[in-house]
């Protein structure tokens, strides 16, 4: 059984209503890990719905988390905001300077990420954590945590094995400068936590407002109860023994909540394997990746892998293989009957079908529509030899792949394909490079029969109408005339044009070339 369905089944034992959560800090550095986080949760959510349960998918944005450091894309004067919640500091402008009109830092980075999520069919309920603080929803848990300060501190020491400082307090107030750093708690009188900050200023934070926050391990445990979360997949950093998941579970109970089902996933890495990457170790952001990779393929990469396995997602040559695999599965889904399969084969089949189901952008839609009738490889070829999209659609209509106007799925695929083809990740081996002269290798591979055919073709082409169809007819006619095998004729052409023994549809390729260039190439043989 697929991991998402299996998790849904486990969750069903708790009841018929599920809240699946994801959580991400919008510090600006979105990476593919966030994609795995949110897709893992979303697939479990879908599996719950598919199993007939009620389910919500909530995305908790850690907008109350402080800015930790000055990232590369930030100007040095962000120094003043280190330690301040991301919801309360200004977004950077194009120059990296704080932009007073740019909205909050958290919102600024969240927007594009949510947009990218929409493209892969993920539309969670977004919860801004700072708003939950401001609304007072954390107040009871905070009061309870402060009351059990000693016990909580013991749990953390016991479970995580790390030492909790003597003056540790389960609430971090904001100081007079709006920063969480260097603020020392001096006392608690419900609902106020008294403090003195690093400037020596004294003050009090009302726990019913956004004047402070719970430390991470407590915050996480508290929000589980507040939102009634039944499952929150966590990266293995949180999931490691003694990590925040393990401390969160007892703390959640101490705060009167029911802890969620523990689920831990392995890391994913996105590797660009283009020409620059081997030496420079180029990595790609998730937003970049979604600009290159068809959304259902992105989902498929997550859906087909077991949660406990590393994923090295490669935007180089492996993308062809992944797309091939996906398309084969769509075109020919496994469908053996129970009698003729072993139990293992049946499990494998169920898992594959579920992965396919969960890869669809729209829940429940027909997988075959995601491909839009054209293979990824074919599109890669067309993107290279046709400079305008209209020519691509025309070619697809001629070849019978397209009827009428291209679908959104198809235009989306094409847009991403062009990004890929034009960028550094596209594999050299797949790149179509029309030769400027006959290579030595091509020369030695051409037989006399080949040369005879090429010579005849050259004559025929000189007064051939320069369209795909006319060129194709011309090749056929010449092939018949010379008496060369169809395959050999094309092999000869590929050696001449590409310097390889095979290639994409020759007439399409030739119609994109200048007639003179082609004839001059042939004449060199």
Within 459-478, the residues that bind RNA by CB under 7 A are: 472, 476
Output the DSSP codes for 461-515: HHTS-SSHHHHHHHHHHHHHHHT--HHHHHHHHHHHHHSSS--S-HHHHHHTS-H
Q: How far is CA 266 from CA 27, 35, 37, 235, 355, in A?
A: 21, 12, 10, 6, 18
Most distant CA pair in the chain, distance: 99
Q: 394: Cβ–Cβ under 8 A, 6 or more apart, which residues?
A: none
Taking the complex as a whole, the smallest distance from the CB of residue 430 to RNA amounts, in Å, to 5
Among 500, 513, 515, 519, binds RNA (CB under 7 A): 500
Q: By CB under 7 A, tell whether 284 contacts RNA.
A: no
Tell me whether residue 23 or residue 121 sits nearer to RNA (CB atom): 23
- Count of residues that bind RNA according to CB under 7 A: 76
Count of H-run helices and E-run strands, the chain: 24, 12
Q: Which two tokens stand for residue 22?
A: 């994801």
Binding to RNA (CB under 7 A): which residues in 159-188? 160-162
34 lines the binding site for RNA (CB under 7 A): yes
| Cβ nearer to RNA, comparing 93 with 504 | 504
Within residues 223-282, the interface with RNA by CB under 7 A covers 234-244, 264, 266-269
Please write down the long-range contacts of 374-379, taking CB distance under 8 Å and 24 or more positions apart. 374/401, 374/402, 374/410, 374/413, 375/323, 375/324, 375/327, 376/294, 376/297, 376/319, 376/320, 376/323, 376/324, 376/327, 376/413, 376/417, 377/320, 377/323, 377/324, 378/504, 379/413, 379/414, 379/417
For RNA, give the closer residue by CB, 161 or 364: 161
CB within 8 Å of 139: residues ≥ 6 apart: 191, 207, 208
292 vs 506, beta carbon nearer RNA: 506
Q: Which is nearer to RNA, 208 or 402 (CB)?
A: 402
Question: In this complex, which beta carbon is closest to RNA, that of residue 208 or of residue 250?
Answer: 250
Decide if residue 505 touches RNA (CB under 7 A). yes
Q: Which of 130, 227, 386, 401 binds RNA (CB under 7 A)?
A: 401
**E strand spans, 282-427:** 311-314
Give the Cα separation of 369 and 39 in Å (integer): 21
Query: What is the footprint of RNA within residues 357-386 (CB under 7 A)?
Result: 374-375, 377-378, 380-381
Candidates 504, 512, 513, 519: give the one binding RNA (CB under 7 A). 504
Cβ proximity to RNA, 307 vs 361, nearer residue: 307
Given 14, 190, 309, 362, the residue binding RNA (CB under 7 A): 309
Residue 336 makes contact with RNA by CB under 7 A: no
Is 424 buried (19+), middle (13-18) or exposed (0-12) by CB count in 10 A?
A: middle
Stretches 27-35, 191-199, 448-456, 461-469: which one binds RNA (CB under 7 A)?
Answer: 27-35
User: Which element (helix H / strand E) includes 409?
Assistant: helix 408-422
Contact indicator for 437, 521 with CB cutoff of 8 Å: yes
Q: Least CB distance from residue 276 to RNA, whole Å?
A: 20
d(CA 142, CA 219): 9
**Pick 27 or 80: Cβ nearer RNA:** 27
Q: Which stretch binds RNA (CB under 7 A): 29-37, 93-101, 139-147, 514-522?
A: 29-37
Q: Which is nearer to RNA, 146 or 311 (CB)?
A: 311
Residue 325: CB minimum distance to RNA, A: 5
* Residue 314-333 contact track with RNA, rule CB under 7 A, x = bound: -------x--xx--x-----
Which residues are within 8 A (CB) of 354 and not within 5 positions of it... i.e. 6 or more apart?
Answer: 1, 2, 4, 5, 47, 303
Tell me, what DSSP letter sits at residue 305? S
Q: Contact region for RNA (CB under 7 A) — 78-86, 412-420, 429-437, 445-453?
A: 429-437
CA pair distance 281, 302, nearest whole angstrom: 23
Closest contact distance (angstroms) between CB of 187 and RNA is: 24
118 to 157: interface string for RNA, x by CB under 7 A: ----------------------------------------
Interface positions, 430-449, toward RNA (CB under 7 A)? 430-432
CA pair distance 254, 245, nearest whole angstrom? 14
As measured in angstroms, the least distance from the Cβ of 497 to RNA is 10
Decide if 333 contacts 311 (C-beta within 8 A): no
- Which CB sits closer to RNA, 185 or 263? 263
Q: Which of 75, 201, 276, 347 binds RNA (CB under 7 A)?
A: 347
3 state DSSP class of 34: helix
Q: Looking only at residues 63 through 82 of this chain, which bind RNA when binding is defined by CB under 7 A? A: 65, 68
Tokens 């001449």 identify what position? 496
Angle, CA of 43, 47 and 53, to the nearest 5°: 130
Given the rule CB under 7 A, which of 34-42, 290-298, 359-367, 514-522 is the region that contacts RNA? Answer: 34-42
Q: Using the rule CB under 7 A, give the single segment among 25-33, 104-112, 170-178, 271-279 that binds RNA.
A: 25-33
């Amino acid at each position: 059984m697929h991991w998402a369905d299996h998790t849904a089944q486990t969750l069903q034992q708790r009841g018929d209503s599920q809240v699946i959560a994801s959580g991400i800090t919008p510090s600006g550095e979105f990476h593919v890990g966030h994609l795995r986080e949110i897709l893992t949760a979303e697939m479990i959510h879908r599996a719950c719905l598919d199993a007939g349960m009620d389910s919500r998918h909530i995305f908790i944005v850690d907008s109350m988390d402080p800015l930790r450091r000055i990232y590369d894309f930030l100007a040095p004067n962000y120094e003043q905001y280190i330690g301040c919640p991301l919801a309360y500091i200004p977004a950077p402008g194009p120059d990296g300077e704080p932009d007073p009109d740019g909205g909050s830092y958290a919102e600024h980075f969240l927007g594009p990420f949510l947009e990218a999520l929409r493209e892969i069919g993920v539309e969670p309920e977004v919860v801004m954590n700072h708003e939950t603080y401001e609304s007072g929803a954390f107040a009871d848990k905070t009061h309870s945590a402060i009351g059990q300060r000693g016990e909580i501190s013991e749990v953390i020491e016991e479970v995580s094995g790390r030492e909790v400082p003597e003056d540790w307090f389960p609430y971090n107030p904001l100081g007079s400068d709006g920063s969480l750093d260097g603020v020392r708690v001096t006392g608690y009188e419900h609902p106020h936590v008294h403090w003195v900050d690093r400037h020596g200023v004294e003050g009090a934070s009302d726990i019913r407002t956004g004047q402070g926050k719970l430390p991470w391990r407590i915050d996480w445990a508290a929000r589980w109860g507040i939102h009634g979360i039944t499952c929150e997949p966590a990266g293995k950093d949180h999931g490691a023994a003694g990590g925040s998941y393990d401390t969160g579970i007892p703390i959640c109970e101490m705060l009167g909540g029911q802890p969620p089902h523990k689920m831990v996933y392995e890391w994913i890495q996105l590797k660009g394997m283009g020409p620059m990457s081997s030496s420079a170790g180029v990595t790609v952001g998730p937003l970049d990746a979604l600009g290159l990779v068809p959304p259902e393929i992105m989902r498929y990469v997550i859906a087909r892998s077991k949660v406990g396995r590393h994923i090295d997602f490669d935007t180089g040559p492996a993308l062809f293989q992944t797309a091939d695999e996906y398309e084969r599965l769509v075109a020919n889904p496994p469908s053996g009957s129970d009698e003729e399969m072993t139990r293992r084969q049946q499990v494998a089949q169920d898992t594959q079908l579920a992965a396919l189901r969960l890869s669809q952008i729209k829940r429940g839609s027909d997988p075959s529509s995601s491909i839009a009738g054209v293979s990824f490889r074919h599109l890669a070829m067309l993107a290279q030899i046709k400079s305008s999209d209209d020519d691509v659609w025309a070619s697809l209509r001629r070849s019978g792949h397209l009827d009428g106007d291209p679908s959104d799925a198809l235009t989306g695929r094409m847009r991403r394909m062009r990004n890929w083809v034009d960028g550094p990740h596209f594999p050299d081996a797949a790149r179509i490079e029309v030769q400027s002269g006959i290579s030595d290798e091509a020369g030695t591979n051409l037989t006399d029969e080949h040369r005879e055919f090429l010579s005849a073709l050259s004559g025929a082409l000189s007064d051939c109408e320069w369209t795909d169809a006319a060129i194709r007819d011309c090749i056929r006619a010449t092939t018949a005339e010379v008496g060369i095998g169809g395959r050999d004729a094309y092999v000869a052409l590929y050696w001449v044009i590409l310097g390889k023994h095979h290639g994409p549809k020759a007439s399409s390729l030739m119609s994109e070339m200048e007639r003179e260039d082609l004839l001059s190439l042939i004449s060199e043989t």
